[in-house]
Every structure is written in C-alpha cells, then in structure tokens.
Amino acid sequence: MEIDVERLWRGWRRSPFHSFLEMDLSEFDREAGTVSFSIPFKEGYKRSPKEEGIHGGVLASIIDIAADFALAVAMNRISFPTINLRIDYLRMAADGDLTAHARTIKKGRTVSVADVEIFDAKGRLCAIGRGTYATAE
C-alpha cells in the first residue's frame, strides 16, 4: 500500500525540532525518489544578529531531514536513522527563503544514500549534502 506522502510529512512536522525548522513540502516523486521543500526565512536561522547569512547548522539540519524524507518516499516507509551526513558549504546563504531538493541515490537492503542541494532566495546553490541511512527492515 502506498503511503500518503503529504500526510506522512504532516506527521514529521509534529517533531519538536522540525517545528523549529518549518519546512514546507512543495513537490515529490515516488518513482524518482525526489522531494522538494521551501523553507520560509526566520530570524532565528541567522548566524549573526547584524550580518547577513543563515547558520550552517540550519542548512545541515535541512539536509538531514530532506535526505531522510526522500528515502522514505522512495522506499514507502516512515523514516530512517541517519548513519552519517556530509555537508559542503559552497557560499553563504542570504537572508531569505530557502529551497531544498533531495534525491535518492541508492535504495539498499540495509543502507541507502540520498543527496540534497540547498538554494538561497537569490537562486544560488549554497550547500550540498550527502547522507547515509539505515534502511534495514
């Protein structure tokens, strides 16, 4: 039976930490194992009280969540524990809404992999991430 992806995401949103992040699911494709999110800007994401820029911890958190959800959608499951996560920060993300695109790289019996790209409000690629998740049943 196919999981109702939007309902699944509403369930994820009840996570206390996810409610800090307030990510909106904008697209998904079960076959491709891809999901996209828009993340409206919040003051609490900023690195510095005065200077421009979103904190790397916020980007890392978005990457973890988006990669995990892409695999959940691809594999028709609820969620998976993260084994490891790698983030490359390519440029400072400007204050403003973010967009994240995650895609399934490998669906494995015990371990799976997904990639994520985060764009800032100016449409610039700011961070890329790759995560490995424990997907054994």
Site for a second copy, rule CB under 8 A: 14-21, 43-49, 55-58, 60-62, 64-65, 81-92, 105-106, 110-111, 113, 128, 130, 132, 134, 136
Alpha-carbon span 49 to 85, nearest angstrom: 28
- Closer by beta carbon to a second copy, 73 or else 87: 87
Alpha-carbon span 17 to 4, nearest angstrom: 22
- Closer by beta carbon to a second copy, 30 or else 46: 46
Give start and end residues of each alpha helix (H) in the chain. 5-13, 16-21, 56-75
- Closer by beta carbon to a second copy, 26 or else 78: 78
- Residue pair 131/111 in contact by the 8 Å Cβ criterion: no
Q: Name the minimum Å distance from CB 19 to a second copy.
A: 8
Q: Name the minimum Å distance from CB 122 to a second copy.
A: 16
Q: Name the minimum Å distance from CB 23 to a second copy.
A: 11
Q: Name the minimum Å distance from CB 123 to a second copy.
A: 16
Alpha-carbon span 11 to 34, nearest angstrom: 19
- Closer by beta carbon to a second copy, 1 or else 50: 50
- Residue pair 47/54 in contact by the 8 Å Cβ criterion: yes
CA–CA distances in Å: residue 94 to residues 43, 55, 121, 123 = 12, 10, 7, 10
Q: Name the minimum Å distance from CB 51 to a second copy.
A: 10
- Closer by beta carbon to a second copy, 27 or else 44: 44
